[in-house]
Amino acid sequence: MLSIVVTIVLILNLFAIIAVIFLERRNPVTTMAWLLALTTMPLVGFFLYLLFGRGFTSKKALSLQKQEERFVKRIVDRQLGDLSGGREVNATYKQLMQMNLKVDQALCTNNNEVKIYTDGKEKYEDLLRDLQEAKQYIHLLYFIIGNDQIGEAVFKVLKAKKEEGLEVNVLFDALGQVKDSMKVYKKYKKAGIEVNMFSPLKATASLKANYRNHRKLVIIDGEIGYIGGMNLSDSYQGMDKRLKPWRDTHLRIVGGAVALMEMRFILDYRHVSGRRMEHMVKYFQRKEHFTGTVPIQIVSSGPHETTENIKLTYVKMIQSAENYVYIQTPYFIPDASFLDAIRIACYSGNDVRIMIPGLPDKRFVYKGTLSYVEELLEMGARVFCYNGFLHAKAIVVDDKMCSIGSANMDIRSFKISFESNAIMYDQGVAEAYRVIFLEDEKHCKEILLEEFKKRSWFERIEESLSRLLSPLL
């Protein structure tokens, strides 16, 4: 009996190899990684492929419908015409704006106010206040909604708002915090709140287990939006004893960019719930009272896209640097194009600094990050290890532009997860984040090349294995 099962699995393994080579248009590095797993570990490799290797097929469900597409395209064409028709826009911004309009239909709004959070407690205090003051509706999307203190505090506010008659829609990822997912879902459902889980962990969904919704979006009354790296969990306000101190970055936006966050939420919610959100026009009412001046594009990406939108944004930002590039990321596992962009920036004389955690939350992935450090140092970049866990996903260039969002600088965020970032074209915001980065450096240890080269062979082997399998992580 066992031999029959093994034979069947080996035959299926052969079909998986054929699919990887001939049917799926993958990056060659990813293809080789899967072939290595399937040929050297047939049984284990096949089940890993079933869980994590299959391509994402629900592409249309996460995209604009034809009527919506036509509406957005008219605005995109108008903004592209403005940029090419001599509109006064900084040349550095112009090309990146054009690219994001073309690859992601990322409309640009110029009337935004921005507040940057580097402390979870402050972010949650403001979020709770804004939720309490909501008048019409609340849309909330997180990778993780914890069944803990902050999770309970937000739940109580949402429950009260639902009882007041407001529309409350909640979406979170089923795999973000597996042990609490069903508890949270049932609690919200019992309270009468419209709640859905992205890819719930059931038999029919397990074959898409690798594709997770990693976005963090909150939209309140179409006027206030939150976007960044912080989930809804006590860990993000420094209550994880294992990963202290915890350093993260998040944004509060008031302005036109909130409508673009709304569009992303609606597409995700519609895909998961399987139903249309009625009277959508109410979410996109023209608002004349915004007084901010920060231009913002909301750029999103995911496995349903034909291009890696956020990665292209990162690469273009790095390529545009004339003075400096400062990067913060918990996971640094780039592809060749991203690494080459860093190399070009270094060789062109830019001050390139990359900040990573000093404490790992996932040891194997962290070793993958460390496998790139020697190469980065040799090309002239400076690498800093934060004294604690760094979860911020940010890049700031030349006091001109800054990106903050959910996307790490790794292959998973580039290709596999659903992500959203805010790209801000503003000197004030960029300068503010440069100051934040330099302040964070005071809590870091800089990695020096000669010292790093002294690590043991065992550490090098760990790094090499992690790097080899990084396309699958």
Q: Which of 187, 391, 400, 415 is catalytic?
A: 391
Among residues 161, 187, 208, 216, the one annotated as catalytic is 216
Phi, psi dihedral angles at 151 (to 5 degrees): -60, -40
Sign of the torsion formed by the C-alpha atoms of 440, 441, 445 and 451: positive
Do 274 and 129 belong together in one domain? yes
Judge whether 300 lies within some domain: no
* Total domains present in the chain: 3
Distance CA 426, CA 436 (A): 16
Which residues, 6+ apart, have CB-to-CB distance to 263 below 8 Å?
284
- Whole-prediction pTM value? 0.87
Let me know if residue 299 belongs to a domain.
Answer: no
Together in a domain, 173 and 273: yes
Indicate if 29 and 129 belong to the same structural domain: no
374 and 423 assigned to the same domain: yes
- 49 and 72 both lie in a single domain: no
Q: Which of 270, 294, 318 is the last residue of a domain?
A: 294
Mean pLDDT by 10 residues, the chain (473 residues): 60 57 56 63 60 54 53 58 58 86 87 96 98 97 95 97 96 87 94 88 54 95 97 91 93 94 89 68 70 94 90 97 98 95 98 97 92 97 98 98 97 92 97 99 98 92 84 58
Residues 6+ apart with CB under 8 A from 67: none
- Domain boundary residue, one of 294, 319, 334: 294
Let me know whether 440 and 399 are in one domain: yes
Burial class (CB in 10 A: 0-12, 13-18, 19+), 95: middle
**Does residue 279 have an active-site annotation?**
no
* Radius of gyration for the alpha carbons in the chain, expressed in angstroms and rounded: 22
Asked if residue 91 is part of any domain, the answer here is no
- Shared domain check, 424 and 392: yes
- Domain that includes residue 255, residue range: 60-86+110-294
User: Could you tell me where the beta strands, DSSP code E, fall in 77-166?
Assistant: 108-117, 137-142
Q: Which of 161, 311, 393, 415 is catalytic?
A: 393
Q: Is residue 77 annotated as part of the catalytic site, yes or no?
A: no
CB-CB neighbours of 399 under 10 Å: 17
Domain final position from 260, 294, 328: 294
Q: Answer yes or no: is 405 within a domain.
A: yes
Catalytic residue among 214, 250, 271, 316: 214
In a domain, 92, yes or no: no
Whether residue 169 lies inside any domain: the answer is yes
Say if 302 falls within a structural domain.
no
Determine the Cα–Cα distance for residues 196 and 169; give it in Å rounded to an integer.
Answer: 8
* DSSP three-state, residue 371: coil
Same domain, 126 and 237: yes
User: Same domain, yes or no, for 321 and 433?
Assistant: yes
36 lies in the same domain as 64: no
234 given a catalytic annotation: no
pLDDT of residue 203: 42
Structural domain includes residue 101 = no
Same domain, 66 and 204: yes
Q: Is 66 a catalytic residue?
A: no
Is the same domain home to 30 and 128?
A: no
Active site residue 139: no
For residue 117, give the CATH number of its domain. 3.30.870.10
Q: Is 180 annotated in the active site?
A: no
